């Protein structure tokens, strides 16, 4: 193999590594995951907002329900006492008065209970609907995390073997040429060499001047001019 072939092989190896690295960091599954996690966070926020309102309403409802049941029991006890009573008229009258007071309080408490129930119900329905919306998203998120982990592991393995092959190709180049290549690559990224295609550097897309094109065409075998823009070595 000529130096040019070795240089081309190294450039192709580096470009291939770049493609696989980019593939690894731009998985469509990662994009889907980011979008999904955004949606799930939105649902979570709504859930917290509704729960913040529903929580106090629910506990007020529970208090009212407890109060109603306490009053109901008190009214029943008074009823039973009155029915079995052998007390005098004055005591009976006092019991009657207490009973009607308790019934009035019970009526108020039951109204309140109903009012709170009507306020709690739609919020609990909303909480249930938000939770059921989040559920398939949470399942998909789990799947995506697994798929991404697998893809990244296999692309990671591929990169390891590509880099090993790349290092073998680099070792085939004469040391001065390799160090020029490495300097250009450190400066420009991706690879340290490029091709001229239709008058453009295919590394940085610079349109070469007619003078540079003439220089490039005239470069002797084994001599590589640098791209005036990105510094990559031009292959013949
Ligand atoms: Zn260039």
Q: What values do phi and psi take at 95, rounded to 5?
A: -65, -45
pLDDT tens digit string along 184-217? Answer: 999 999 999 999 999 999 999 999 999 999 999 9
* Contact in structure between 61 and 114 (CB atoms under 8 Å): no
pTM of the model: 0.71
**Distance from the alpha carbon of residue 208 to the mean position of ligand 1, in angstroms:** 9
- CATH number for the domain running over 24-171: 1.10.287.1490
**Which pLDDT belongs to residue 53?**
94
Each domain of the chain, given as residue ranges in start order, spans 24-171, 174-236
pLDDT tens digit string along 2-21? Answer: 899 999 999 999 999 999 99
Question: Residue 33: pLDDT band by 50, 70, 90 thresholds?
Answer: very high
**Distance from the alpha carbon of residue 129 to the mean position of ligand 1, in angstroms:** 56
Question: Residue 93: pLDDT band by 50, 70, 90 thresholds?
Answer: very high
- How buried is residue 191: exposed, middle or buried, by Cβ count under 10 Å (0-12/13-18/19+)? buried
Concatenating the DSSP letter of every residue in 172-212 gives: TS-HHHHHHHHHHHHHHSS-SEE-EETTEETTT-PBPPHHH
Residue 1 scores a pLDDT above 90: no
**Distance from the alpha carbon of residue 184 to the mean position of ligand 1, in angstroms:** 10
**Distance from the alpha carbon of residue 201 to the mean position of ligand 1, in angstroms:** 5
**Distance from the alpha carbon of residue 183 to the mean position of ligand 1, in angstroms:** 14
**Distance from the alpha carbon of residue 227 to the mean position of ligand 1, in angstroms:** 5
**Distance from the alpha carbon of residue 210 to the mean position of ligand 1, in angstroms:** 15
Q: What values do phi and psi take at 222, rounded to 5?
A: 85, -5
Structure token digits, residue 195: 């091709």
């Amino acid at each position: 193999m000529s130096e040019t072939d070795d240089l081309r092989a190294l450039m192709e190896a580096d470009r291939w590594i770049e493609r696989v690295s980019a593939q690894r960091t731009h998985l469509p599954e990662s994009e889907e995951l980011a979008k999904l996690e955004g949606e799930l966070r939105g649902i979570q926020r709504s859930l917290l907002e509704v729960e913040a309102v529903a929580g106090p309403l629910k506990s007020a409802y529970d208090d009212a329900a407890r109060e109603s049941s306490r009053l109901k029991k008190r009214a029943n006890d008074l009823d039973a006492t009155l029915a079995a009573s052998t007390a005098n008229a004055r005591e009976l009258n006092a019991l009657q008065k207490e009973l009607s007071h308790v019934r009035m309080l019970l009526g108020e408490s039951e109204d309140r209970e109903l009012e709170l129930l009507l306020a709690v119900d739609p919020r609990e329905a909303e909480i249930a609907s938000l939770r059921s919306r989040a559920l398939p998203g949470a399942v998909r998120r789990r799947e995506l995390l697994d798929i991404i982990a697998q893809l990244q592991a296999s692309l990671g393995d591929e990169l390891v073997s590509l880099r090993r092959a790349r290092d073998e190709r680099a070792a085939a180049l004469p040391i001065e040429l390799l160090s020029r290549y490495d300097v250009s690559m450190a400066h420009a990224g991706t690879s340290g060499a490029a091709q001229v295609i239709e008058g453009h550097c295919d590394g940085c897309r610079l349109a070469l001047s007619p003078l540079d094109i003439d220089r490039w065409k005239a470069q002797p075998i084994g001599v590589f001019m640098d791209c005036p823009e990105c510094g990559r070595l031009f292959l013949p």
